[in-house]
Each structure stands twice: as structure tokens, then as C-alpha cells.
A and B are shown apart, each in its own frame.
Chain A
Amino acid sequence: MIETEALRFSYPGSSEVLRGIDLAINDGQFVAIMGENGAGKTTLVKTFNGLLMPTAGRVKVDGVDTHDSSVARLSRDVGLVFQNPDHQLFSETVREELAFSLRNFGYEEDTIERRVGTILETLDLTRYTESSPFVLSGGERKRVALAAVLVWNPKHIILDEPTIGQDYQQKDRLRNFIIQLNAQGKTVIIITHDVEFVAECKPRIILLSKGQVIGDRPAEDLLTDGELLDKASLTRPQIGALMHQLRDLGLPEHAIDVYSAEQAILQALRRKK
């Protein structure tokens, strides 16, 4: 469980980025943190693995105050995948990139080999095992960065903008993968602007604006609240926008993905007959 209490943070010499945040994210939850550019999303998750320490208030991971732990300790439990993979990748080959942390954690070589193989397979990267991460496309490098964190099996996984540069099939794969991680009891926290992805995954959404939580509701609820979306520079997902336009015909605004919209339209047509 990740908890924050009256969490405040400012970078030295600049104004406050996080302005009093109270949150509790339970084990196994799937959460999307959304909000405008500069709302404080990345800063917030950096306090979860101890990269940043609160200037006031506190953060607890599995009951332990991050002040009383270390980044080394915390990062084993809280895996953070950065938005820009180039801030994270450094090895000669994809295999080495993944094996690095496992060696540091003291795993046996054959365990490392097995784990690296499984993760690369899951993320559709096997053919790049011996490639340099730097010759891969942007989308592929992002998947390598994700693999490099997943490989040590952290309990809580944070993905900063995982869908940027990913094509449709990769997003689909990512969605299934998140569901799978959730099913294993892992907490998955994504930071994203991708309203379409969120409309299809339907996580709990924590909406940040100017360093404060302005909404904390299920996706169907929050992505249909025009006023709140506007405040955080978000837009309705495409199907949500369509249903919103047709709400006077009795179509439900909460149908924000294609399948629920399909059912709603069929129902409305049946009602008419």
C-alpha cells in the first residue's frame, strides 16, 4: 500500500509543486494519474520510491515512512519506469540491460537467464535480445525500459506515460499486460495523457491540477465530468464525446468505450421499435 499524508514538495528555489496531497493506493489497484502538463504528476510518483523526499507531510510504502528507508530498499518494492527511456538505458545489449539489476540483487545466473527470457518474450522483444538498446525505435526503447524494471518483480509498478509512441497493437498488448500484473496482485500506477487508453482500461483516476488532487473517481465517472476535465486540460475520449453529444436521445454518457457504446445504441434502437 502506498499512502501520502499532507504531502508537500518544492524543488529548491522554486514554487511549491505538490500542495498538500492525501492519498491511499491499495495493493493490487490499477490507478491512472492524470492532469495538465506541469500538474506535478511525475514529481508525485518520485516521492513513492524515495527519489524525492517530502518537504512537508509524509509518504509511506507498505507502512514504512520513506524517510526511514533508502532508495535502494524502496526501488526493490516500487519499480518506476521513466517517461524518457534514454534517461534509464545504458547497457550495450538489451540482455545486459535487463540482467544488470538482477546481478546487483544477487540472483544466480541461470535464474537471471530465465527471467530475462520470459520478460523479453512477454513484451515482444525477444528478437532484440542481443541488440543495442540505442538502435531500437523510440517505442521499442520504451518497452526495454519497462522490461528492465519488471524483470526484478517489484510489488508496485509505476509507468510514466507508457503509451507515448506506441502503436495500436502495442497499446493493446500493454493493456493486457497491466491486467495480468493486476491479477498477480501488483499495484499498477500509470501517469498518462492518453484519454483513449484510459477509457478502455477503466482504472481509478486520480486527477491532479496545480499540485492538488481535484478528482479521485472511477474512469467512467471522471471522464464524463466536463467541468473537471476542463480544469485539468483533459478532453473527453472520442466515444465519450459522441455519447455526450447524443445524450438528449437517451444515450448514456458513461458509455466511454466502443463496446459499451455499441450495446447502448442497440438498446436505444430496440426501445424505439
Chain B
Amino acid sequence: MKGYMAQPRYGAQLENDSCLGPLHPLGTARGYKDLSIIQANHLTFTYTGASKPSVEDVSTTVSPGEFVVLTGPSGCGKTTICRCLNGLIPNFYSGDFAGELIVDGMNVKEHTTAELAAHVGMVFQNPENQLFSLSVERDVAFGPENLGLQREETRKRVDWALDVTGITHLKDKPPYELSGGQQQRAAIAAVLAMQPKVMILDEPTSFLDPKSALEILEVISDLNKKLKITIILVEHRLDIVSQHANRVIVMDNGKVVLDGTPRDVYGEQARLIGIGLPRVTTLFNLLQRDGLGLTQTPTTVDEAAGVLRKMLSR
């Protein structure tokens, strides 16, 4: 297979029947894996009329294929960062933009939101706000068609996106007849059909019942593991996302204050900022305070069960 980067982006032909082709090489194409997919240098943004920046002096890099959970108290700047990543800032929201943000090699200041949309996909809280067509298939085809892709290529991408998200059987249904979980799958499929390398999901499960929420998180985790799509997931509920993330970034007052693996980040400082640590982590912190001399701080139920089982059956 030819290097992905060498292909013209929009005319890219799929090289085999599996539409998984063009997304796979992300982490393997020559030289590519050493590059960061997101690079922020002293990024600062102040909305017009605001007295202080919503995002202040953020410098960080994200490597291709990472699964990043972005969290922090309400108003900490998470949503503003997402708007910067897909170019809504500075293209749609007016304000003072300082520093630099490069996404998939593109400086967001120099590209339109439409150009960025093929590289950075965005999924919102409420799928109802994202779906508008009379059939799921039409919704999913909308993006590729607007990239000006050939009919055949659009067809392939739509079929593939429906398949990956497990909703091929719903393709002829109007979105408003679907359950919340199915709608969110359709919204993800619509973004996926653009074949973005980065997906930003802003609390994508908060409108869903818990079982549908876990299923959607599995879908997102699959996109990350199997297709190597870089995931930026904004979420308050660390209980349900920690098992999928390899990295957690905590923001407070517009700044990045903690950045590391879930285990590194879920400590006293995070608690003081007001981050809702996973319940099992909190439980272990309490037991630690009770003097149990625990050496591990679990971040998932399975991990916690393992440690406690050992302790109680010794």
C-alpha cells in the first residue's frame, strides 16, 4: 500500500474492498508516527467582550492514535478548546486568538472550518442537533458529498461508516424514529464518513441511558483501537471513560493543570479542583486514609475488585 500522506486527500481511492484501508496506515506510514497530530503552542483565546481568556497559554501535543479524556469543572475552557480544534474558533466566534494551533498539519487560523472538517470530526452531546435528513443514509452521505467525492467513493464510505457503527440495518430509517443510542451512532457514522484522523466528542453519551452509553463508548474505543483515530473525549463522568483513555488532561480556569495517565492524574490535586474521580478511586483513597496501606490506586471496577479480592482472601 502506498503511503497515505502521499495520496491526494479527496481523490484518494480505496485500495482494497475493505474500506478500513485508508485509515489504517495512520500510525505506520513512513515518518508519520513521529509527528504529533495536534500541537498547541501558547494557545490563548479571549471571546469578544469577555474580561479574561477562556483558554490561556495552553501548550501541549497529542500523538496520532491517543485516546485523550479532556475534563475539568464547568467553564474551565474545554468547549473553547474543542471549538479551536475544528476551526469554529477563530472562524465563527470572534475574539482575540494568540499563539498557534496545528491540527493534522493544518494551522487552524489559515484554514476554513469546512477544510478542517475532513480532518477533525466533531460529535456533540445531543444527536438530535446533528441529524437533519429523512434517512440515516442521507445524513451519513452528506459530509462526503460535500467534499466533492465521486459517487462511488461516497457509496463506499457510507456503507463502511454504517458498518463500523453497527447501524447498516437502520440506513433507511428517519433519524427521529431511532432511539437515542442509535441516533448517536448515526451522528458518529456521519462524522466517520469524512474519514477524519481526529474525532472530538463533547459528552457524547450524556443524553443516553446507561446501557446505550456504554455501547457508544465501545464504538468510540473501537475507532481508536482498530482504526487508530485520535480521540479527544470531553467528559465529566470519569467513572465510565477511564478504562478507555490512555491520557487525561484536566483544565481549570482556561489552563491545563494536570496531564498524564488516569492513574497519574487521579490524585489529591484533581480532587481539590473538583474533578469527580471514579468512585472506585475515591473508595481507595478513603481506605488509604483508614490506614489500610494500599499501594495501588485503581481507576476501574475490575482493577479495584482484583486488589480487594487479594486483600480479603489472603
Residues of A within 8 A of B (CB): 35-38, 84, 137-140, 161, 164-171, 193, 195-196, 230, 232-235, 237-239, 241-242, 245-246, 249, 251, 257-259, 261-262, 265-266, 268-269, 272
Instruction: Give A180 to B236 CA distance when docked, in angstroms.
Output: 25
B interface, over-half SS = helix
Knowing A258-B286, A262-B286, A266-B290, the reply to whether A239 touches B279 (Cβ < 8 A) is yes
> Do A164 and B206 touch (CB < 8 A)?
yes
Instruction: Give A259 to B305 CA distance when docked, in angstroms.
Output: 17
> Do A238 and B312 touch (CB < 8 A)?
no
Q: Which of B73-81, B83-91, B153-161 contacts A (4 or more CB under 8 A)?
A: B73-81
> Do B305 and A246 touch (CB < 8 A)?
yes
> Do B312 and A37 touch (CB < 8 A)?
no
Q: Which of A171, A193, A261 contacts B210 (CB 8 A)?
A: A193
Q: Which of B8-16, B112-120, B166-174, B270-278 contacts A (4 or more CB under 8 A)?
A: B270-278
> Do B312 and A195 touch (CB < 8 A)?
no
Chain B residues whose C-beta falls within 8 Å of the C-beta of A138 in the assembled complex: 125
> Do A37 and B181 touch (CB < 8 A)?
yes
Q: Which residue of A lies closest to B181 (CB)?
A: A37
Residues of B within 8 A of A (CB): 72-75, 79, 125-126, 179-181, 203, 206-214, 236-237, 239, 274-276, 278-280, 282-283, 286-287, 290, 292, 301-302, 304-305, 308-309, 311-313
> Do B239 and A238 touch (CB < 8 A)?
yes
Knowing A37-B212, A235-B214, the reply to whether A196 touches B239 (Cβ < 8 A) is yes
Instruction: Give A237 to B208 CA distance when docked, in angstroms.
Output: 15
> Do B301 and A167 touch (CB < 8 A)?
no
Knowing A37-B180, A167-B276, A193-B210, the reply to whether A246 touches B312 (Cβ < 8 A) is yes
> Do B73 and A239 touch (CB < 8 A)?
no
Instruction: Give A237 to B286 CA distance when docked, in angstroms.
Output: 18
A-B contact pairs, 24 of them (CB 8 A): A35-B209, A36-B211, A37-B212, A137-B75, A139-B75, A167-B274, A196-B239, A233-B211, A233-B212, A234-B210, A235-B211, A238-B280, A239-B280, A242-B280, A242-B301, A242-B304, A242-B308, A245-B305, A246-B312, A249-B313, A261-B283, A265-B287, A265-B312, A269-B292
Residue of A167, A239, A245 with most partner-chain B CB within 10 A: A167
> Do B209 and A167 touch (CB < 8 A)?
no
A interface, over-half SS = helix
Knowing A140-B74, A168-B276, A238-B278, the reply to whether A262 touches B283 (Cβ < 8 A) is yes
> Do A258 and B311 touch (CB < 8 A)?
no
Residue of A37, A234, A257 with most partner-chain B CB within 10 A: A37
How many pairs, one residue from A and one from B, have CB atoms within 8 Å of each other in the complex?
A: 120
Chain B residues whose C-beta falls within 8 Å of the C-beta of A36 in the assembled complex: 179, 209, 211-212
> Do A166 and B309 touch (CB < 8 A)?
no
> Do B74 and A234 touch (CB < 8 A)?
no
Q: Which of B74, B206, B209, B290 contacts A37 (CB 8 A)?
A: B209
Instruction: Give A36 to B210 CA distance when docked, in angstroms.
Output: 8
Chain A residues whose C-beta falls within 8 Å of the C-beta of B125 in the assembled complex: 138, 164-165
Chain B residues whose C-beta falls within 8 Å of the C-beta of A233 in the assembled complex: 209-212
> Do B301 and A193 touch (CB < 8 A)?
no
> Do B309 and A258 touch (CB < 8 A)?
no
Q: Which of A140, A257, A262 contacts B75 (CB 8 A)?
A: A140
Knowing A196-B239, A261-B283, the reply to whether A168 touches B275 (Cβ < 8 A) is yes
Knowing A140-B75, A238-B239, the reply to whether A249 touches B309 (Cβ < 8 A) is yes
> Do B278 and A234 touch (CB < 8 A)?
no
Chain A residues whose C-beta falls within 8 Å of the C-beta of B278 in the assembled complex: 238
> Do B312 and A272 touch (CB < 8 A)?
yes
Q: Which residue of A lies closest to B211 (CB)?
A: A233
Chain B residues whose C-beta falls within 8 Å of the C-beta of A139 in the assembled complex: 74-75
Q: Which of B179, B236, B304 contacts A167 (CB 8 A)?
A: B236
> Do B208 and A193 touch (CB < 8 A)?
yes
Chain A residues whose C-beta falls within 8 Å of the C-beta of B203 in the assembled complex: 164-165
